[in-house]
Copies of this chain bind each other. A is one copy, B any other.
Amino acid sequence: MMFSTRAEYGVRVMAHLAGRDGAEPVALGAIATAEGLPLAYLEHLMARLRRAELVASRRGAHGGYSLARPAGTISMAEVVEALEGDIAPIECISEGADGTLVCSREEHGDGICPTKLLWARVRGSIVTTLREMTLQDLAKPVPERNETAA
C-alpha cells in the first residue's frame, strides 16, 4: 500500500539481526529461510542498508550481515528511509535542503497550496513515529526473564 515490501522485508531482516545483537554475522540465506523471504530479492535490500551504513557485512565463508551499530541507536526512520527513499506522503511534498517542506505546486508562483498543510502534518506524524522507535523495540517482542536483560 503505502510502503512497499522493500520496507516490510527490510525491517524484518533488521529485526532479525537485532535479535542477534553483537554476535557473529548472520548469513542472508539463513535469514531468508527463517523469514520465508526470497534470498535474491533480499540481496537488493541489503545493498541499500549497507550503503546507508546500517549494516556491516563480512564476505566469504562464515560471512554474513550484522548491525553496524547497537540496535538501540538505530531509529526506524533511518531504516525505512534507507529502504524506501525520502519519506513523502505524496509526490508534490518533499524535504528541502534545510529541512523545510517544499510543495512543488507552490513553485509556479501561484501562492500558497492549501493542501500542503495536510500533507505536511501527515508526513510529520509518520516521521516522528518512525524516529521514536528503534530496532531494539522490535527485537524484544518475547521478553524472557532468565536474564536481567540487555
Interface residues of A (CB under 8 A from B): 1-5, 7-8, 11-12, 15, 76, 87-92, 112, 114-115, 117-118, 121-122, 124-126, 128-130, 133, 137-139, 141-142
Contacts and interface: CB of A to CB of B under 8 A. Distances in A.
A142 B114 CA distance: 9
B129 A141 contact: no
Nearest to A137: B117
Tell me the dominant secondary structure on chain A's binding face.
helix
A33 to B, nearest CB: 14
Given A122-B130, A126-B122, A115 B3 contact: no
Contact of A5 (B76, B91, B118, B141): B91
A87 B3 CA distance: 11
A2 B129 contact: no
Contact of A2 (B90, B112, B117, B130): B90
Given A2-B2, A8-B91, A121 B115 contact: no
A121 B92 contact: no
A88 B1 CA distance: 6
Contacts of A89: 1-3
Contacts of A112: 141-142
